[in-house]
């Protein structure tokens, strides 16, 4: 049995808040054949001293043939307390979570964003655009390939002085 699976990292949800939402109903086209694309972005941050991890999710809709015209978008900050967060830091300062933990954090964060987006779109012309279930492992691996034993370049930003350095994380 996998030790990580038998002894999962405990964490708690500390805060969820939507920091941005907009909808542009003037762009609505009542044509079911008009394809709508969904884009998802993310940003991961840490406060080691407070054991806080923040995963910010941004989701927006646009017509497939008009990507510059945003129909609706939302940005949601998801804060998690992870005891002994510093223990996940490698020699280069990169936080490397076990796969099970980052998958769970991505899953919860996307679920929170989906729920808030649906709530905010309620009563608009886009209220039927509910984000469907996603494969959290696939998104976690796409977003954070370096936590899945894959080579990657990770940008570390020091929020004190806004300096950034790139670190190469090699697969094990």
The CATH class, in words, for 3-169 is alpha beta
| pLDDT in the model for residue 5 | 53
DSSP 8-state assignment for residue 34: S
Query: Residue 40: which of 125, 97, 106, 98 has the closest Cα?
Result: 106
Are 155 and 162 in contact by the 8 Å Cβ rule? The answer is no
Are 40 and 58 in contact by the 8 Å Cβ rule? The answer is yes
pLDDT of residue 71 exceeding 80, the answer is: yes
Which pLDDT band, with edges at 50, 70 and 90, does 2 fall under? very low
Query: Within 10 Å of residue 92's Cβ, how many Cβ atoms?
Result: 12
Query: Within 10 Å of residue 137's Cβ, how many Cβ atoms?
Result: 16
Reported as a single tens digit per residue, the pLDDT across 108-143 is 999 999 999 999 999 999 999 888 888 999 999 999
Domain boundaries in the chain? 3-169
| pLDDT in the model for residue 104 | 97
Q: Which residue has the higher pLDDT, 60 or 5?
A: 60
Q: Which of 4-8, 109-113, 162-166 has the highest mean pLDDT?
A: 109-113
- 3 state SS of 4: helix
- 3 state SS of 90: coil
| pLDDT in the model for residue 80 | 98
| pLDDT in the model for residue 1 | 40
Query: Residue 114: which of 95, 97, 139 has the closest Cα?
Result: 139
Mean pLDDT of the chain: 90
Both tokens of 98, joined, read 């076990």
Poorest-pLDDT segment among 29-43, 62-76, 105-119, 154-168: 154-168
Reported as a single tens digit per residue, the pLDDT across 139-163 is 999 999 989 977 777 777 776 777 7
Poorest-pLDDT segment among 1-5, 39-43, 62-66, 73-77: 1-5
């Amino acid at each position: 049995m996998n030790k990580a699976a038998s002894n999962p990292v405990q964490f708690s949800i500390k805060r969820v808040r939507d920091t941005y939402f907009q909808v542009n109903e003037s762009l609505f086209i009542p044509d079911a054949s008009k394809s709508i694309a969904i884009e998802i972005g993310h940003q991961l941050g840490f406060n080691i001293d407070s054991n806080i991890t923040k995963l910010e999710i941004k989701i927006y809709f646009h017509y497939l043939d008009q990507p510059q015209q945003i129909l609706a978008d939302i940005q949601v900050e998801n804060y998690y307390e992870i005891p002994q967060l510093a223990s996940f830091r490698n020699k280069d300062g990169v936080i490397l979570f076990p796969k099970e933990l980052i998958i769970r954090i991505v899953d919860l964060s996307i679920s929170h964003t989906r729920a808030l987006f649906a709530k905010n779109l309620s009563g608009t012309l886009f209220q039927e655009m509910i984000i469907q279930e996603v494969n959290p492992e696939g998104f976690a691996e796409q977003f954070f390939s370096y936590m899945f034993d894959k080579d990657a370049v990770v940008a570390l930003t020091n929020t004190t002085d806004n300096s950034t350095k790139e670190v190469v994380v090699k697969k094990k």
